[in-house]
Every structure is written in structure tokens, then in C-alpha cells.
Amino acid sequence: MAKLISTNQQLRAFLGGAYSASDDFDRIKPYIELAEQTYIAKAISSELLLHLETLADSSSISEKEQNLLQLTRRALAFYGYWMYLPFATGVDGDNGLQETTTERTQPIRLAVLEKRIATTADYASQALESVLLTLFNRPDDFPVWKSSDTYENANRLFLRNGTELKTACSYTRGHHRLYLSMNGFLEERQRKTIVPMLGEDFAEALLEAQSEGNLTPLNKKLLLYVQRALGYAAYEDALMQLTVVQLPNGGLRVLSEFDGINNQRSLTDQDKVFCEYKNTISTQAQSYLRELRGFLDANADDFPLYTPPTTPRPKGPIDNSQYNTVIRMR
């Protein structure tokens, strides 16, 4: 266990002064091991993690593998430290959890600890996203990754990681932890909206071309429309389930469940600023879905697997004489 990082020196290579050189590595080791299985193995596959652990002890390692190994170690260092932080201060005594103090030191203030936890979570998420970006951009360089079930499952979505999600929907900020929180919403929206719009055969062909990296120029353009429509629609679906806080400057920040900030009231659908924000996202989501449909229809002759809808869109004003009820325009 914890073969990627096994000494204080390796840990401090990524955490710097945040972790003391004189601290006992055995104190943080269980959290390094927990982070390895909870976050790293799930993100990059247990097969690739095992392969990297083997490479860590090898004297023969390629430059690409060395780069991936260091990126993964950095992500593991920050995730392990983040999981360790809540237990880094205080000791269990006869009367329960006790804060220790000496003439020279005082217990860290809770606000400072929470800020460090939140910042460490951000760094951990960004570090792991760097690992995934390397793997998805160059899968042929890492055959163990390319043959894993984790890679295969990721390629079932048009948005496979936080970076692709941010490119499609900039509100999501490109964090791996937010991508994890939205993953189920992406799957559902793709199944219920994107695949029926494309058709199952066309959707499968486009997903395969995306994973193999052999998209035609026209399909590359189509993929941008698909990803943008999917990203905004899923983000709209997820908003009510994500933690949203209002910043002092009046803006909003969407947090995932992994954030350490717990001293701010989360916004709800009863808050005006949240409702306005959600309405903006909803309007954009509907707009991008219409743009996707328009691009498909305009290029239908170049997409043999695409079947345009049989019901024509109404052109011009609606003929009210055909209806006996009121139609709500949106």
C-alpha cells in the first residue's frame, strides 16, 4: 500500500512547507492509502495504479511514464493531505477529543483550518484533472489505461472529464470533483436527450470516433455542438443538487460535496439570485439544444446515420384556427 508515496521527502516534494519534515509519516500514511483507493484508483483504474506502483520501483522507465507517475503522485499527495487535515490537530484523551497547546504553540483557528481544507481540495482536484487530461489526450501512450474498464466506461459519454466539461460549459470550472458530482446527470441527459436526437446508431458511431481520435472535420464540429448542449443541459439538471453559495461580491460559486467550506449558507430555489442564475442556465441550455438540432438538420445529407425528425417545424406564426386551446409560447 501507498507505494507511490512512502516517505516524508516524497510527500514534501509536492506539499512543500505545508507538511513538516519532522512529522512522523506513519501519521499520514493511512490517509494516503485511503486516498489512493478512494480517488486515484477510481479515476485512473486499479490496473494503471498497479502499473505505476511497479514503475515507481523500476530503474527502467520512459519519459512519458515518468511524467505520468509524477502527476499522479502530486494528485495523491494533495488528496491524502486533504483527508488527513481534519485529524491533524487534537488528540483523543480520557475526556474525548482534546486540543493541545504549549507555551510556544496554539491550536489552529477553525477558520484557518477550513480554508486550508478547501484550498487543498481544490489543488487535489486540479492535480487529478491534469492526470486524466494526459491520459485522454494520449491514450495510445498508456496501453494499460486504454485497455481498462475505466477508460471504456468513460468513453460512453461525450464529456469524459472535467476539462471537456469546462470547454463545453465554462460555469463548471474544470474541476474533477464537480465532474464527479455531475456524472450521473450527464449520463441521464445523454440517454434521454442527446441519443434520441442523434439516433442510437449515429450516437454510437460518434462516440467510437471520439474515443479512437478519428473524427472527420464535420464530425468535430458536430461534437462541439453535442458537448455544449449536453454540458449545459446536465448542468441545469444538477444545479438543485449541487451546493451553491453566494460570494461577498454578489457572485455565485458552485461547490461539490467535497468542499470543506461549511460556514456559508447554501442558496436554494427560494433565493432570487439563485433563481435568476438557474433561469439563465436554462435559457442557454435550451438554446444550445436548438443549435444542435439546427446543425444536424442543416447537414443531414452529410450524416448518413442521422434521421431528421418527421414532424416539420412550424414556420412563421402559428395558425390559431387549428387549435381549441391556448398554446403557451416560450
Q: Identify the burial level of 78 via C-beta atoms within 10 angstroms of its C-beta, where 0-12 means exposed, 13-18 middle and 19 or more buried.
A: buried
Among 70-84, 198-212, 260-274, name the one with the lowest average pLDDT. 260-274
Nearest partner of 203 among 292, 312, 310, judged by Cα: 292
Among 126-130, 210-214, 250-254, name the one with the lowest average pLDDT. 250-254
Beta bridge partners of 253: 245
Query: Is a pLDDT exceeding 80 seen at residue 254?
Result: no
Please report where in the chains the cell 470543506 appears, as a residue.
Answer: 260
pLDDT digit string, tens, across residues 156-187: 999 999 999 999 998 888 888 889 889 999 99
Q: Which residues of 191-227 are buried (b: 16+ CB within 10 A; e: fewer)?
A: eebbbebbbeebbebbbeebbeeeeeeebeebbebbb
Average pLDDT over residues 24-28: 89
- Predicted local confidence at residue 317, as pLDDT: 62
Q: Half-sphere exposure of residue 6, counting CA atoms within 13 Å on the CB side?
A: 7
Confidence of residue 262 (pLDDT cuts 50, 70, 90): very low
Please state, as a whole number, how many other Cβ atoms lie within 10 Å of the Cβ of residue 98. Answer: 12
Contacts of 144-153 spanning 24+ positions with Cβ under 8 A: 144/45, 144/47, 144/48, 144/51, 145/44, 145/45, 145/47, 145/48, 147/47, 148/45, 148/47, 148/48, 149/45, 150/42, 150/43, 150/44, 150/45, 150/48, 151/45
Confidence of residue 23 (pLDDT cuts 50, 70, 90): confident
Strand segments, DSSP code E, in 177-276 are 243-246, 252-255
Among 30-39, 40-49, 304-313, name the one with the lowest average pLDDT. 304-313
- Predicted local confidence at residue 181, as pLDDT: 86
Confidence of residue 191 (pLDDT cuts 50, 70, 90): very high
Query: Is a pLDDT exceeding 80 seen at residue 302?
Result: yes
Confidence of residue 239 (pLDDT cuts 50, 70, 90): confident
More reliable by pLDDT, 17 or 85: 85
- Cα separation of 190 and 207, whole Å? 12
| DSSP H or E run through 192 | none
For 87, 212, 226, the CA distances from 105, given in Å and listed in that order, are 17, 57, 56
Strand 96-98 and strand 252-255: pairing?
A: unpaired
Contacts of 49-55 spanning 24+ positions with Cβ under 8 A: 49/4, 51/144, 52/4, 53/3, 53/4
- Predicted local confidence at residue 260, as pLDDT: 44
- Predicted local confidence at residue 29, as pLDDT: 93
- Predicted local confidence at residue 177, as pLDDT: 81
- Predicted local confidence at residue 263, as pLDDT: 46
- Predicted local confidence at residue 160, as pLDDT: 96
Confidence of residue 109 (pLDDT cuts 50, 70, 90): low
Domain boundaries, the chain: 1-89+108-147, 155-308
